[in-house]
Structure 1
């Protein structure tokens, strides 16, 4: 009888969690954008977004990852889309992120915008449409998870056991997790781990950030579906409340969401992590540009079950050494002498310094202003000053300025000699398997 009661309580709790998921219409399996439909039969493609809503009422997609499992049950592939990937967004039904509901109006198409605008403008259906148009893959499941919700999940479960490949020491947030390996994250640490974008050792791109977000999500769902949680109605209810306000999904229950998170985390068979091929340098709008030939080959391989092609090097050109970069430093903050101080610190890590002066007007943001002919050098400055936002100026030439606003966090770091588009440093030895 006791076993029966426990099974009943656990099953009831699990059904309760399923009922908390906020379901919306997102999938479009009959879309004309789906290619090689017969070859795709039996394959699963789950699109998972990590959405940050703390920077305003208009949330963008922080991470966009597709978990592809082939029809033959072979090893899955994690396909990551850079949030600044330039696309031509189709017209989409409007989306209210606060109400998590569609609006009775159409958002017009927009050319030369970024992929993260698809969710903020048109919600789940729009980002599914964009991904299917880009890849020809049929998306069979969708979930968007608010990043602040992951921190709340950690609090509801009394901490999340997570294995980290390296310490999370971020150039903007500071030390979030001081050690690699098995750690238990409280709500504050979980919030930092899923937002840390400038972590030492991560290398180029967002692969490290995406991986950490999926590890935290998988740990949260794994903990929620553990026997001890399901048999504790109070704990399960607390987690369910967070789940209900943090997750938007279509075509998935809690078990399927957990399976997708575990796939993205790389648990089970070896799971390749593939980033959509882009050019080594951003364009004049600061956006990543798809390498059409390599991307088409990759997408076709996923659709047809062929081996995933080895990524071609984005460029043989290296990021310029700091000693070859000369940058002007301007103070737009309220801190007297900041430009001189930062210029001295940049010289200490071998940058060349041009003019050092006060900006024409005060500013809050710290930005790197650059002309197209100096975009590679601007990437070098961005690596050294992680709190700066890059702002290209297509009308200028010969311009490279670091404008220090009130947002400057004081971080200046040396640049490792890594080729542009080259492989990211591997994980800390012995940290996680």
Structure 2
């Protein structure tokens, strides 16, 4: 009898353990399913944040030839190693007022969006060095005929500012105009709006810069004494846009501040261990992709990650920032034109 009771108790304990193990197993399985679903949703969400424009199809073959070392953008990430070829990327900052956040940050009229900042980023073969060339938005040039998404094309225009290309024909015309100016093929296009830039700075915890002069600009609402500063996103955006509180009030003085911000952000990103903090990494990615427009070669999270991974050896001290050589325009002392032959020599070095 006692033996039967002991066997009964042992069976009960075994049953309870088995039941408990089943519960734990089901709980873990449920957690894994929910975790996978959350990761899947996060990936889908970030992937669908990105807006894109099919620039290659729109421009066709009427553009400079790609560099021989430029890798194919159609190669599978799983089937090939990370690319190491040189790249030229047109990076634009737009003053769009589309959306509440952009409007609050001082974006322009949504019916007349302009490219507030234009930079050609050249990444050397090997991807351990880069050159960032700023094109003054006050640059006068001949804007080529550009195809329009609604059909037809724009007319060729002489002696107009470079940033009118985006205003008139969007990213496609911006790329074609820069390619016409530089005779350099833009392998990719990246555009970030006001809220995307400010959000990136905030998600990184701010950015450290040192100003060499006091800035008092009521138009950008920026007032900084000369010296070191830790800026939040709104302040960093104001610094990138200010022009009336420095130098002669032209776009040339502002470019120096923008280039300083680029280097400071690169240093901030390299010093921030994002991969060790998934929650923070997601916040950064969500903020950036929400304000991002790319060409179709970079319009997915996997393609952007692949580009980022190929640049892991690129440090801020290996990034050179320069301005397109320019001189005062004869027709308008408030505008500039490319200085030759220096400008052509610079562009030739990026091919």
Q: Tell me whether the two structures share a fold, i.e. TM-score over 0.5.
A: yes
Alignment partner, residue 137 of structure 1: 184
Are positions 1:18 and 2:66 aligned together?
no
Supply the distance in 1 between the matched residues of 2:230 and 2:253 (Cα, whole angstroms).
24
State the secondary structure of the residue aligned to 1:73: coil
Are positions 1:294 and 2:294 aligned together?
no
Supply the distance in 1 between the matched residues of 2:43 and 2:270 (Cα, whole angstroms).
12
Supply the distance in 2 between the matched residues of 1:171 and 1:91 (Cα, whole angstroms).
37
State the secondary structure of the residue aligned to 2:341: helix
State the secondary structure of the residue aligned to 1:194: helix
Alignment partner, residue 309 of structure 1: none
Kindly indicate whether the alpha-carbon contact (under 8 Å) linking 1:142 and 1:249 is maintained by their aligned counterparts in 2. yes
Kindly indicate whether the alpha-carbon contact (under 8 Å) linking 2:222 and 2:238 is maintained by their aligned counterparts in 1. no
Kindly indicate whether the alpha-carbon contact (under 8 Å) linking 1:118 and 1:127 is maintained by their aligned counterparts in 2. yes
Q: Quote how far apart the aligned CAs of 1:175 are.
A: 4.3
Kindly indicate whether the alpha-carbon contact (under 8 Å) linking 1:143 and 1:257 is maintained by their aligned counterparts in 2. no
1:274–1:6 Cα change, 3 Å:
farther
Q: CA RMSD in A?
A: 4.2
Kindly indicate whether the alpha-carbon contact (under 8 Å) linking 2:93 and 2:115 is maintained by their aligned counterparts in 1. yes
Alpha-carbon deviations, 1:394-433, whole Å to 9, x = none?
Answer: xxxxxxxxxxxxxxxxxxxxxxxxxxxxxxxxxxxxxxxx
Residue number among 44, 64, 73 corresponding to 1:34 in the alignment: 64
Kindly indicate whether the alpha-carbon contact (under 8 Å) linking 1:20 and 1:241 is maintained by their aligned counterparts in 2. no
Supply the distance in 2 between the matched residues of 1:9 and 1:177 (Cα, whole angstroms).
43
Supply the distance in 2 between the matched residues of 1:107 and 1:88 (Cα, whole angstroms).
12
Residue number among 145, 149, 162 corresponding to 1:91 in the alignment: 145
Are positions 1:272 and 2:320 aligned together?
yes
Alpha-carbon deviations, 1:65-107, whole Å to 9, x = none?
Answer: 011012243521111111111111112234xxxxxxx333432
Supply the distance in 2 between the matched residues of 1:180 and 1:276 (Cα, whole angstroms).
27
Residue number among 143, 155, 160 corresponding to 2:205 in the alignment: 160
Kindly indicate whether the alpha-carbon contact (under 8 Å) linking 2:209 and 2:261 is maintained by their aligned counterparts in 1. no
Q: Quote how far apart the aligned CAs of 1:205 are.
A: 3.7
Range moving further from structure 2, 70-79 or 204-213: 204-213
Alignment partner, residue 248 of structure 1: 293
> How many residues matched?
286
Supply the distance in 2 between the matched residues of 1:19 and 1:36 (Cα, whole angstroms).
28
1:180–1:31 Cα change, 3 Å:
farther
Are positions 1:47 and 2:93 aligned together?
no
1:278–1:254 Cα change, 3 Å:
farther
Supply the distance in 2 between the matched residues of 1:163 and 1:301 (Cα, whole angstroms).
31
- Matches of residues 21-420 of structure 1 in structure 2 within 5 Å? 21-27=50-56, 31-34=61-64, 37-38=67-68, 42-53=85-96, 54-57=107-110, 58-94=112-148, 102-152=149-199, 157=203, 160-166=205-211, 169-172=215-218, 173=220, 175-178=222-225, 180-181=227-228, 183-185=230-232, 187-200=233-246, 204-211=252-259, 214=262, 226=274, 230-231=278-279, 236=283, 240=286, 243-244=289-290, 246-250=291-295, 251-252=297-298, 253=300, 267-279=315-327, 281-285=328-332, 286-303=334-351
Higher helix share: 2
Supply the distance in 2 between the matched residues of 1:225 and 1:191 (Cα, whole angstroms).
23
Supply the distance in 1 between the matched residues of 2:303 and 2:224 (Cα, whole angstroms).
29
Supply the distance in 1 between the matched residues of 2:137 and 2:189 (Cα, whole angstroms).
17
Kindly indicate whether the alpha-carbon contact (under 8 Å) linking 2:200 and 2:287 is maintained by their aligned counterparts in 1. no
Kindly indicate whether the alpha-carbon contact (under 8 Å) linking 2:117 and 2:137 is maintained by their aligned counterparts in 1. yes
Alignment partner, residue 384 of structure 1: none
Kindly indicate whether the alpha-carbon contact (under 8 Å) linking 1:78 and 1:271 is maintained by their aligned counterparts in 2. yes
Supply the distance in 1 between the matched residues of 2:93 and 2:153 (Cα, whole angstroms).
24
Alignment partner, residue 388 of structure 1: none
State the secondary structure of the residue aligned to 2:336: coil
**Which runs of 5 or more structure 2 residues have no equivalent in the other structure?**
1-27, 72-84, 97-106
Alignment partner, residue 428 of structure 1: none
**Bigger RCO (CA 8 Å, 6+ sep):** 2
Supply the distance in 2 between the matched residues of 1:18 and 1:24 (Cα, whole angstroms).
15
* Structure of greater Rg: 2
Kindly indicate whether the alpha-carbon contact (under 8 Å) linking 2:267 and 2:316 is maintained by their aligned counterparts in 1. no
